[in-house]
Every structure is written in C-alpha cells, then in structure tokens.
Structure 1
Amino acid sequence: MRVVIAEDDALLREGLVLLLSTSGVEVVAAVDNADDFLSVVAADRPDAVIMDVRLPPSFRDEGLRAAVAARRLHPGLPVLVLSAHVEHSYATELLTDGAGGVGYLLKERVGKVERFLDALRRVAQGGTAMDPEVISQLLALRRVSDPLDTLSAREREVLGLMAEGHNNTTIAELLVVSEGAVHKHIRNIFTKLDLPADEAGHRRVLAVLAYLNR
C-alpha cells in the first residue's frame, strides 16, 4: 500500500511515517501543508491518504478542503482523516460524496495501533471507518423533527456500529445477539429512514451518512 500523509505536527508526522513503514506500508510523501499534498497526489496518486483537518496557513479546515478537492480530481481516492476536531461543513461533503473509501478518526480516541492500521486498510479497500463521536456530532446537527427519532434504542446502537464500519458479524458479537437479529434491525433501520434495503458493506454506511446530510 502506498500512502501520502498531510500533517503539520512534525512529531506526529514522523511518528506516522515510522509506524507505517515498520508495518509494511510505503509512505510516498509526508507533507505539512495542503498545497504540497495536492501536488504529490496529482503527480503520483497513492493508494490512500492520511489527512489532518487543520493545516497551514490558517489552521482551520485546509486539510479537509484539500481532501475534498483531491477526491473531485481523483474520484474514489481513499481518505482517512485523523484529527483532533470534527469540522462539520467539509466533513459531511467528504463523507457523503458516494465514492467510498472514507474514514474520520479522532486522534485522542485512537488508543491502539492495530485499530488505526485496520481502519487505514479498510479505507484503502474502499470501506469506511468512522469514530462514534463524529457520528454523534453529525446526528446532533439534525433538525428536531426527524425520522431518526423513530428508531428504537437497539436500532440506534446498530446504526452507530454500522457507521463505524463494522459488518453484521462483528455487530452481533459486540451486542451479544444473533446475526439474524442484526439483519432484522438493519431492515427496520432502512425502512424507517427510507433507504434502499439492498445496500451492503460500506455502501450502506455511505447511504446512512448521505441521509444524515440531507
């Protein structure tokens, strides 16, 4: 796997380079600003990119804007956002463009190297890796009168785990229920949210995120 890193914190940037290199991942480039990131991606499209949200010069949302711009030029470019913040405006655009291969993890909540590497691999393969807090904040932006209010507590749990990128088997294990029960909950979720019932894998997660952005 060939990866480009865009992170302004030199210590974290070099730490990611070392971590990925020792894990068999080739780091094509590690840059500290959006302009260099876009140049590298344009010159030699990598298999995935790891982005911080806030990059120079304003340290606001340059990273996310660069990620959105890169995916417009290269549809489906896998992007894993690794940030200390949830930026709603460009986050929803990135997560709901329908191309797949997206992830958004909060730095403070990535407690294990294995979890981070697993998320990166899933995203690189066209899947989704979402931090529960990101989903929670997106949900909080929804209007008061919302079909999500019709979901049961268990359906909300299943929806949250779906949004994290887990498959049905893992959801069943985490909730200590049968896979049949998970299938039933997912059917109910799609029905209540008026989403296609035949969505599967990461596409169903993107469908949920697209709904949240409507």
Structure 2
Amino acid sequence: MPLRVLLADDEVLLSAGLARLLEDAGIEVVATVARADHVLGAVAEHRPDVAITDVQMPPEGTDDGLRAAIEVRRQYPETAVLVLSNFLEERYPLDLIGEDAKGVGYLLKSRIGDVDSFLDSVRRVADGGSALDPEVVQRMVSRRRRDSPIDDLTARERTVLAQMAEGKSNHGIAADLGVTPAAVEKHVTGVFHKLGLGDEPLQHRRVMAVLTMLRAS
C-alpha cells in the first residue's frame, strides 16, 4: 500500500508543488485543504498516514495550522503529522510534540528544497519516528537548562543526539560526521545509558532521547 498523505496549505503553488513531488515519489495525496478548520474533517474522512500542515493558515492566519496538527495528534493518534513553517519559532515544535515525540515532524519550509531529505522526513514520521529541523535542534541544544541530564553527555554525544533528533539513522550520522557506524553506535549507547533509557525498543529509545533533549531546552 502506498503511503497516504493529506496536505493542508493555503499557498496554492506550494501545495501543488508538494503534491506533485509526493506523487512522483509514489506517495498518494488523498486530499488537499486550504483552511486549518477543514483539517480535522479531512483527516476523519480520509484517515491519511501523514497530515502535512502549514503553521500560518486561514481562517485567522496566525498559528491555525499548528493548532490543527496538535488536535489531529490528540484525536487521531494513528495519523502522523509534519508541520511546515517559514519561521524559527521555538515554542511551535515544543507545543506540537507535547509529551510524545513519536510520529511528529517540524521543518522549516526552506528544507523542502532538499527533496530527498523532505521525503525521508515524511516516511520517517509515518513510521513513528521524529523529524525536527536542524536549525531548531541546534538552537534547543544551545539553550539547554543547567543541571539537565543533557549536561552529562560529552560534546560528541550531544552532536549525535542532535542528529538523532533530526531523524538520521546511525549510518546517516556516521556519513555526516565522517566516522564509522560502529563509532556512532557506541555514542548512541552512551546517550541511552546517561539518559536512563535502557529497557525500551531501539526506535522508542531514540524518540525518548529526543524528547528528553526537548524538555531540557
């Protein structure tokens, strides 16, 4: 079964471009809406695997799309959400993620230009992972609170955790850092140990590590 996506964006050209990009990648766009107050109804009707929403949408043009995405997470937890934004606003991803970082993504719209990375983010959140924009992650890491568990991590472990928050696999992190996958696995294990994440399945531990990082920001 192809991945099924709902698009919510009031920018007609962007919405059409995203729909074409997704369909060319074999992802089915089941519906498109241009208003945030139509999102829940469309999700209820089509039950997509992923709802992709803009932050600023009618009717109010403020953070309507973000609030709609949060409501989708609450009412339809089986539907992953990926929020797109023009702005680097720290509270938006925190509000979106809440207490559960599974099946959620937050990307700056400028990131769509990297088509492979964008499509990977869509698929990752559909699989229950997280996909956070690198700029957002770096700002949160740099603003962590004192006496947070993140302080126990080495500089390299914090770098690895930040890349985990972006949704990269161990092999992807290794390629980016120019080290071996085995070295990355060692750092990931160190992150899990220092954050007290020892008995959960691997994917869930990665999500919980990201959530710990966000709570410490």
**Alignment-derived partner of residue 210 in structure 2:** 209
In structure 1, stretches of 5+ residues that fail to align are none
- Written as runs of structure 1 = structure 2, the 5 A alignment for 1:21-170 is 21-98=23-100, 100-170=102-172
Q: Distance in 2 between matches of 1:198 and 1:170?
A: 24
Whether contact under 8 Å (1:190, 1:197) holds in the other structure is: yes
Q: TM-score, normalised by structure 1?
A: 0.87
Whether contact under 8 Å (2:101, 2:211) holds in the other structure is: no
Q: CA deviation at 1:187?
A: 2.4
Whether contact under 8 Å (2:49, 2:78) holds in the other structure is: no
Q: Distance in 2 between matches of 1:62 and 1:138?
A: 24
Structure 2 residue identity aligned to 1:22:
D
Q: Distance in 2 between matches of 1:145 and 1:106?
A: 30
Q: CA deviation at 1:161?
A: 1.2
Q: CA deviation at 1:199?
A: 4.2
Whether contact under 8 Å (1:68, 1:90) holds in the other structure is: no
Q: Do the aligned partners of residues 20 and 183 (structure 1) sit closer, same or farther apart at CA in structure 2, a change above 3 Å counting?
A: closer
TM-align CA RMSD: 2.2
Q: TM-score, normalised by structure 2?
A: 0.86
Structure 1 residue identity aligned to 2:130:
T
Stretch of structure 1 that moved more, 17-26 or 155-164: 17-26
Whether contact under 8 Å (1:100, 1:202) holds in the other structure is: no
Stretch of structure 1 that moved more, 170-179 or 159-168: 170-179
Aligned pair count? 213
Structure 1 residue identity aligned to 2:30:
V
Q: Do the aligned partners of residues 182 and 197 (structure 1) sit closer, same or farther apart at CA in structure 2, a change above 3 Å counting?
A: farther
**Alignment-derived partner of residue 175 in structure 2:** 173
Q: Distance in 2 between matches of 1:75 and 1:37?
A: 14
Structure 1 residue identity aligned to 2:211:
A
* Secondary structure of the structure 2 residue equivalent to 1:110: helix
Q: Percent identity?
A: 47
Structure 1: 4+ residue segments shifted above 6 A: none
Q: Distance in 2 between matches of 1:198 and 1:180?
A: 21
Whether contact under 8 Å (1:83, 1:105) holds in the other structure is: yes
Q: Distance in 2 between matches of 1:93 and 1:76?
A: 19
- 1:7 alignment partner, one of 6, 9, 23: 9
Q: Distance in 1 between matches of 2:196 and 2:66?
A: 27
Structure 2 residue identity aligned to 1:208:
A
**Alignment-derived partner of residue 19 in structure 1:** 21
Q: Distance in 1 between matches of 2:174 and 2:159?
A: 11
Q: CA deviation at 1:12?
A: 0.5
Q: Distance in 2 between matches of 1:20 and 1:183?
A: 32
In structure 2, stretches of 5+ residues that fail to align are none
